[in-house]
Amino acid sequence: MSTATDAPGGAPLLELRGIGKDFGSVIALEGISTAVRAGQVTCVLGDNGAGKSTLIKVLSGVHRPTRGELLLDGEPVDFGAPRDALDAGIATVYQDLAMIPLMSIWRNFFLGSEPTTGWGPFRRFDRATAKEVTRRELAAMGIDIRDPDQPVGTLSGGERQSVAIARAVHFGARVLILDEPTSALGVKQAAVVLRYIAQARDQGLGVVFITHNPHHAHPVGDRFLLLNRGRSMGDFAKGEVTREQLTEMMAGGDELTRLAEELGRPGGA
Amino acid sequence: MSTATDAPGGAPLLELRGIGKDFGSVIALEGISTAVRAGQVTCVLGDNGAGKSTLIKVLSGVHRPTRGELLLDGEPVDFGAPRDALDAGIATVYQDLAMIPLMSIWRNFFLGSEPTTGWGPFRRFDRATAKEVTRRELAAMGIDIRDPDQPVGTLSGGERQSVAIARAVHFGARVLILDEPTSALGVKQAAVVLRYIAQARDQGLGVVFITHNPHHAHPVGDRFLLLNRGRSMGDFAKGEVTREQLTEMMAGGDELTRLAEELGRPGGA
Amino acid sequence: STENSGGGDEGGDGGGTAASGDLDFAVVTHGAAGDAFWDVVQNGAEAAGEDLGVGVDYQSDGDPQRQSQLIEAAVNQDVDGIVVSMANPDALEDSISAATEAGIPVVTINSGAERSAEFGAIGHVGQDETIAGIGAGQRLAQDGATNVLCVVHEAGNIGLEQRCDGASQGLGSDVQLLQVDINDLQAAQSTITSQLQSNPSIDAVLTLNSAVASVAASAAADAGSDAAIATFDLNADVISAIQDGTISFAVDQQQYEQGYLPIVMLKLYAENLNTVGGGQAVLTGPGIVDAENVDEIADLASAGTR
Amino acid sequence: MSTTREAPVDGPARADERVARVGPWRRLMVKPELGSLIGAVVILGFFSAQSDVFRSLAGVANWLDVASVLGIMAVAVALLMIGGHFDLSAGVMTGTTALTVGIVAVELQQNIWVAIAAALVLALGIGAFNGWLVTRTGLPSFIITLGTFLMLQGLNLGLTKLFTGTVIVRGIADAPGYHSAELVLASTIDVFGQPFRVAVLWWLLVTAVASWVLLRTRFGNWVFATGGDEVASRNVGVPAQRTTIVLFMTTATAAWLVGSITAVRLTSVQANTGTGQELIYIVAAVIGGCLLTGGFGSAIGAALGALIFGMTQQGIVYLNWDADWFYFFLGAMLLLAVLTNRLVRRYAEAARR
Amino acid sequence: MSTTREAPVDGPARADERVARVGPWRRLMVKPELGSLIGAVVILGFFSAQSDVFRSLAGVANWLDVASVLGIMAVAVALLMIGGHFDLSAGVMTGTTALTVGIVAVELQQNIWVAIAAALVLALGIGAFNGWLVTRTGLPSFIITLGTFLMLQGLNLGLTKLFTGTVIVRGIADAPGYHSAELVLASTIDVFGQPFRVAVLWWLLVTAVASWVLLRTRFGNWVFATGGDEVASRNVGVPAQRTTIVLFMTTATAAWLVGSITAVRLTSVQANTGTGQELIYIVAAVIGGCLLTGGFGSAIGAALGALIFGMTQQGIVYLNWDADWFYFFLGAMLLLAVLTNRLVRRYAEAARR
Ligand SMILES: Nc1ncnc2c1ncn2[C@@H]1O[C@H](COP(=O)(O)OP(=O)(O)OP(=O)(O)O)[C@@H](O)[C@H]1O
Ligand SMILES: Nc1ncnc2c1ncn2[C@@H]1O[C@H](COP(=O)(O)OP(=O)(O)OP(=O)(O)O)[C@@H](O)[C@H]1O
Ligand SMILES: [Mg+2]
Ligand SMILES: [Mg+2]
């Protein structure tokens, strides 16, 4: 498995060439090139507002890039809508989670990919299956929901995030994109997510993973794409960087240690 | 300064006695008692859905507790609305941030506490001051906004969180409540927030801090309130626990280390 | 289709000199768009325009303020004459005097006869709604009705109110009012049915619109009531209902004349300074259409002229 | 990726100490439909207690008739509102379709079924146009459909006058095929000797189908999602634009059904038919629990909202209250209905959120 | 806690490589008001090109008159919509206040200023009632104000008939103090020899004050916040309920102003005055860029929306287009205005989001 660390891991599933994105006068991305390979985890790192979410929205068909090219299996593609990306097997956990607060958990889980039963005019949403799968997938993440009929809007922040992750993992066929999936999660749930990422990678999926936590990024990442103010600061293979360097690159990652000292308290990172 | 670690730190600013909160059939909190003291940081820890956000919403006047008593400076109080809590000097960063997406950054910053200028019928919102203060406070957090007139809805997740934190810090007079303030923040910004917390504590404010990150909780926390499924699992002073115990209490905090081993990769927490 | 005086054509100022080919008249009424009664008025005015070779521009709005603004627009356009219906004379006073001050002759139609001369109109063609109502009330009394239901199809409309008031006067006792919505005739039918069901002593229903009359007849049948149905205004359905006896009579204002005659009057005034009526209103009704005379006008109503 | 992962072994029915016990009665109370059912029951009780005609079979047939035509539209409008949009042209479209049936059958002398089919095609076209314009421009549907509302109002009058010379199309009863059309759309059915309008059946059918689609099909899921958060639902792959267009076409289809019923039943159609009714449809849907902001509501609720409106409208007449005060009473009863609904739910709210 | 922290030394005017250069013209374009200004200019150009009366001073005075009364209400309704609510009773309230002025002045024989004051008190009461009910019950304002709308409609008719025996109040011109009231509310002002209605001044004043309040005061900030996200704004201490109630009272005050102008100008008032106008106010506000979901919009935009509506309404008359097709043209012109607005903004959108 460790062969994947340095080797390119085959032809890229997804490739970006000189991608740029403007929002009116705001230049959010400029000249980003990288590749997502099967069986590899690409970590996108960067400060707040660096353009990480914008980048993954380009990958998942939410935004059309203003400049540059997107290649799927080596062929140029133009995702007109997220549906196109989903149909290409790309599933995404958005930072804002893309959930409908007033709808129940199981309806949100299968939204856009509802299982059906019956035929002809009597084809209907298979509710029993949907509820059952929802409960099972969430339980696997260590989230024990009271009632799959509860509206998502009344879930806690972490519960909601777990639902979004479980959904993406369930539907991700070739590429799994996760935008700060662990931000609101407890330590236990975060570990489960990291394990999911590793599982997905082992099954040959390409994973794009955004996080601010070097402790999360380093164990699972194979490549690290560093963004700063909308531009790429480099694209490193795992072997090329240590966790310390990584933390350093993530804008003064040792601050915590220094902080702990500065505060004159025992402990620290 | 380290005297605050074990000593009670004077009479509690805020005290909770047997607080419980139901949402219809959902029992979100049950029998919580704790105290927030001046010059102390109380960390509330717990799994996703444990009831942490609900607890701080009781403290900040969003929810009226179903059971139990809330005391401010030893006197029972009944916060009918968040305004009452704000007027008592309690400022809160909500997990959902409580920002108006369509409004500009500076309008959001001063929302509800607008500075005014002029007199009589010509008393008006002091826009120049508002913009200036907003820019200054955000810059102090290391967030360099392009334009304070940008609608908050177009900010990145971390930028938005920074605005909410800067606002609470600016207006918090006696108690500062932060619900997962660092979840979407970069390492640098998170460190700034931790330093804010320490500063606030040193200035004699009571701080309530919710986080899932033991690396964040341990350096600044003085007391640790542990919640599980809506109930208190104990209330520990800093001296009573080491970081390892804390991480353990936070539901298998060593998972990361184990995970790293399990994945057969170098690195880990 | 008559003469062509072909003479000088220096704008319509003051009237009297313009050539007929260049005459433009404005008709501004308070009828709602699509109202069956006012549609016949419009048809009359437009037919007169065609017959006499003059331009006729018909506008209407039920809101008095809007109506006055439409009159002002006509004044601004410097038309050669204005025809105005005066349901609410006070509200139109300013704009009508603006017209007369600008030297534009005004003919008032329908209601408002008593204020017409005061406002400087050169004549009035119409039938006061109250008098029409009295006529209907008297006829109902004649037929032996004692407990009459008056169906108002637009709440607060002054013209409709006057018709019901007049009916009370003619009948000699108060009529009972019922509100329905002209734009939802199915519901109107149900509402009339329920009124007849809950109040079986009603022995006559007076509707103020021909379309409401048709559903009132069906409603009476639904409710099993043998109340007589009478109505204001005609249309082809009402005429065939009179023929087969389901509606006993209709009050006909011959409102076609209220559209046609003022155009004739304005043309005569413009070319010959003639006035009509000698300061008195020219009355167009009320005529009563019942089984006796219905056959003669049967074909005319479907053409939109009765 | 659906590998087997270690699922904790606890069945769905396991008791949870974080959930308080709630009686079945209270559980029922919080369903949106049951809220408006309470309102309906209150109104029914109020008028029945005071008027024996109101509660007689003939009375019931009468107010059910009013509720049914309104209800067909209210249910369709409710679907659209759940999907996050308004259709101000819904009212006038009932007139457009009714006039089309009349003009094609009478003036163009076609079989009435041909006329009805033509009206359907027209309605679907207008609905698709509305939906296309809304999704294409991203402008609020309120303003787009206001534009089509005004344009249709003008067309109704202008074309009717063009074809007939008057503001009314009449003589539909003489069109070929009229009797079969009457049977389907405007006949009555005897129940205990009292004729009920067949429109009541249509109303029940429409409500049942709409409710089934909304709660049991993929499309229904998309409707809730599109109305709840259009961006989020597009992000997870819901065809939001298609859903919106179909919803507008659904309202148009309901308008066609109501218009056809009107034309066949009254046999003559006025050019201003339906104008101003759009607000009443929205009101019925809102009484029935639909959120104006979209994403929440129910078809059965909207049907009950129409029932409340119909009962109130007729009940006031049955009580012989002074007609001058009709609208006053109508407003007061509506407020009464929604406030009761609200009160009951407040009490029962203890059962959720 | 505002301690000095180490702020990076960069002035606000520093160039940022993450911001592309945008011309001032494009920057202007994206302001919501300027969007509707484009619509207004297109409509103005369209009609002016075809009718010289329309562009004459007399014509301008005429359509400004139409726009002004509508505009006063549209601006107030826009504030309310930005605050997240609707007031369906706004239209009929202009009738209620006008009738109150008439009844108090004529039937109760008071000085007209007393009558106008009485109408103000009544209007404020109704507005406060609307706001109180909405904030108290949490029900949608759409349904609450529909209730008051219907009730007021009934009251207007019932009370007018009670006092006058008919559906019209006449003789306001004979009330004591009428002339001073006429001067303030219904006089004309000569500009280049063309009398303009004083209502135009009121309209400008209301727009200016509303715009100032909205953009420059605390209250304005609260309005945006309450409409944008009520829960969030309450959480940061905005008095959302008070804001809502004040907004409803503002619409009521505007209705009182319009009602008083109507009563004094027409000197007689019909019981159905104002009914049905509420939708037009909302439309003007939406054309002017207000979101129906609240939290976004502008007072100047609403005033321009009213202008578009007024110009279109009168412009069609000036072009002598067939009255039967009036609504068709009105709808088409409105769509034209909003679509142009949209197109221009699409082009300019490159300048933001
Ligand atoms: N729709 C938009 N309109 C204008 N600016 C935008 C828009 N979306 C994003 N931006 C800007 O683009 C920049 C990049 O945003 P993005 O959300 O990609 O950052 P990020 O790297 O995900 O940050 P974070 O770690 O805080 O989530 C930000 O400065 C943001 O203000
Ligand atoms: N308004 C509500 N209605 C019903 N249930 C609610 C409501 N608010 C919260 N809950 C439930 O109460 C429980 C506690 O929620 P809370 O938001 O306090 O959790 P938390 O500890 O903050 O979790 P996280 O770490 O994920 O933010 C959750 O299970 C949630 O589903
Ligand atoms: Mg992001
Ligand atoms: Mg929380």
Sequence-distant (6+) residues with CB within 8 A of E49 are none
Question: What's phi and psi for D262, nearest 5 deg?
Answer: -60, -50
In a domain, E226, yes or no: yes
Q: Has residue C301 got a pLDDT over 80?
A: no
Percent of chain C whose predicted confidence (pLDDT) is above 70: 93
User: Residue C162 contacts by C-beta under 8 Å, 6 or more apart in sequence?
Assistant: C111, C128, C129, C130, C133, E166
Name all residues whose Cβ lies below 6 A of ligand 1: A 23, 26, 28, 46, 48-54, 95; B 154-159, 184; E 353
8 Å CB contact between E111 and E176: yes
| Alpha-helix runs per DSSP H in D138-177 | 141-164
Strands (E), chain C: 24-29, 55-60, 81-85, 106-109, 123-126, 148-152, 176-179, 204-207, 228-232, 249-252, 282-283, 287-290
C210-227 residue pLDDT tens: 889 999 999 999 888 889
pLDDT value, residue E60 = 94
pLDDT at C22: 82
Contact between B58 and D49 under an 8 Å Cβ cutoff? The reply is no
**pLDDT digits over E237-291, tens only?**
999 999 999 999 999 999 999 999 999 999 989 888 888 888 889 889 988 888 8
Mean pLDDT of B173-184: 88
Residue E14 forms part of a structural domain:
no
Percent of chain D with pLDDT over 70: 88
Dist. CA D84–CA E250, nearest whole Å: 28
| Mean pLDDT computed over every residue of chain D | 86
Residue D160, domain member (yes or no): yes
- Do the Cβ atoms of B32 and B55 come closer than 8 Å? yes
Residue nearest to atom 28 of ligand 1 (CA): A49
Q: Domain of residue D219: give its range.
A: 37-345
Q: Reply yes or no on whether the pLDDT at C178 is more than 80.
A: yes
Residue E303 lies in a domain: yes
- Contact assignment for D236 to A172 by CB distance below 8 Å: no
Burial of E183 (0-12, 13-18, 19+ CB in 10 A): exposed
In this complex, which of D167, D314, D324 lies closest to C36 when CB atoms are compared? D167
Q: What's the CATH code of the domain at D269? A: 1.10.3470
Strands (E), chain D: 168-170, 188-191, 194-197, 268-270
Span A14-101+173-268: which CATH code? 3.40.50.300
Residue D252 lies in a domain: yes
- Average pLDDT of B134-150? 83
Cross-strand bridge partners of residue C60 = C29
What are the residues whose beta carbons fall under 8 Å from the beta carbon of A263, sequence distance 6 or more? B198, B219, B220
Q: In this complex, do E237 and B114 lie within 8 Å of one another by their Cβ atoms?
A: no
E19 contacts in chain A (CB < 8 Å): 25-27
Q: Which residues contact E285 (CB under 8 A, 6 or more apart)?
A: E74, E77, E78, E81, E297, E301, E302, E305
Q: Whose CA is nearest to atom 14 of ligand 1?
A: A51
**Residue E31 placed within a domain:** no
- Nearest CA-CA distance, residue A34 and chain B, Å: 22
**Phi, psi angle pair for D87, to nearest 5°:** -130, 95
Mean pLDDT across the stretch B246-256? 57
| Of A54-63, C284-293, D300-309, E199-208, the least confident | C284-293
Query: In terms of pLDDT, which residue wins out, E68 or D330?
Result: E68
Spatial separation of the C-alpha atoms in residues E315 and E310, rounded to whole Å:
8
Q: How confident is the model at residue C12 (pLDDT cuts 50, 70, 90)?
A: very low
Q: Give the percent of chain B with pLDDT over 70.
A: 87
| Amino acid identity for residue D136 in this structure | R
The pLDDT value given to residue B162: 86
Burial class (CB in 10 A: 0-12, 13-18, 19+), D17: exposed
Q: What does the DSSP 8-state code read for residue D104?
A: I
Mutate to test the interface with D, among E139, E146, E286 (most CBs of D within 10 A): E146
DSSP state of E155: H
Q: What's the order of all strands across the beta sheet hosting A12-23? A: A75-76, A67-72, A12-23, A26-37, A231-237, A223-228, A41-46, A206-210, A175-179, A90-93
The percentage of chain B sitting over the pLDDT mark of 90, rounded to a whole number, equals: 32
Chain C residues 147-176 with CB within 8 Å of chain E = 154-158, 161-162, 165
Q: Is E55 on the interface with B (CB under 8 A)?
A: no
Residues E307 and E65: their CA atoms lie apart, in Å, by 10
B52 lines ligand 2 (CB under 6 A): yes
Type and span of the H or E element at D244: helix D240-266
pTM attached to this predicted model:
0.85
- Closest residue in A to E352 (Cα) is A24
For residue B223, give the nearest of B45, B55, B43 by alpha carbon. B43
Give the chain B residue nearest A144 (alpha carbons): B49
Identify the CA nearest to D307 among candidates D51, D43, D91. Answer: D43
Chain C residues close to D317, C-beta within 8 Å: 178, 191, 194-195, 198
Reported as a single tens digit per residue, the pLDDT across D221-243 is 999 999 999 999 999 999 999 99
pLDDT in tens, C147-157: 999 999 887 78
Please tell me the predicted confidence (pLDDT) of residue C252.
Answer: 87
Q: Do residues C210 and C289 lie in contact, with contact meaning Cβ atoms separated by under 8 Å?
A: no
pLDDT at E306: 94
The 10s digit of each residue's pLDDT in B43-89 is 998 888 889 999 999 999 999 999 999 999 989 999 988 999 999 99
**pLDDT computed for residue E245 by the predictor:** 97
Contact of E322 with E54, CB cutoff 8 Å: no
> What interface predicted TM-score (ipTM) does this complex get?
0.82
Q: Could you tell me how far CA E164 lies from the centroid of its own chain?
A: 31
Say what the pLDDT of residue B268 is: 34
SS3 for chain A, per residue? Answer: CHHHHCCCCCCEEEEEEEEEEEECCEEEEEEEEEEEECCCEEEEEECCCCCHHHHHHHHCCCCCCCEEEEEECCEECCCCCHHHHHHCCEEEECCCCCCCCCCEHHHHHCCCCCCEECCHHHCEECHHHHHHHHHHHHHHCCCCCCCCCCEHHHCCHHHHHHHHHHHHHHHCCCEEEEECCCCCCCHHHHHHHHHHHHHHHHCCCEEEEECCCHHHHHHHCCEEEEEECCEEEEEEEHHHCCHHHHHHHCCCCCHHHHHHHHCCCCCCC
Q: Give the tens place of pLDDT for each residue, A216-235.
A: 888 888 999 988 888 988 88
Residue E351 within any structural domain of the chain: no
How many CB atoms within 10 Å of residue A239? 11
Strand residue runs (E) in D71-180? 168-170
- Is a pLDDT exceeding 50 seen at residue A153? yes
Q: How many residues does chain E have?
A: 353
Q: According to the model, what pLDDT value does residue E28 have?
A: 60
Give the SS3 label for residue C19.
coil
Determine if the peptide bond prior to C286 is cis (ω within 30°): yes
What percent of chain C has pLDDT above 90? 44
- For residue D8, the model assigns a pLDDT of 39
> What pLDDT sits at residue D6?
37
* Average pLDDT of span A144-171: 85
Q: Tokens in use for B158? A: 């971390």
**pLDDT under 70 in chain E at which residues?**
1-32, 345-353
CA dihedral D331, D333, D338, D344 (to 10 degrees): 160
Locate A27 and state its tokens: 């230049």
Q: Which ligand is nearest to the CA of A28?
A: 1
Does residue D300 lie in a domain region?
yes
What's the pLDDT band for B258 if we cut at 50, 70, 90? low
Number of domains in chain E: 1
Any idea where the domains of chain B sit in the sequence?
A: 14-101+173-268
Q: Which residue has the higher pLDDT, A27 or D125?
A: D125
More confident site: C36 or D123: D123
Give the H or E element holding residue C75.
helix C64-76
Residue B267 clears pLDDT 50, i.e. is over it: no
Alpha helices in chain E (DSSP H): 24-29, 32-50, 52-55, 57-82, 90-102, 112-137, 141-164, 178-185, 199-216, 218-228, 230-235, 240-266, 278-287, 299-318, 326-349
Bridge partners for B47 per DSSP:
none
Task: Report the pLDDT averaged over residues D146-166.
Answer: 91
Is residue A40 pLDDT above 60, yes or no? yes
Q: In chain E, what residues touch C156 (CB-CB under 8 Å)?
A: 156-157, 160, 167, 270-273, 275
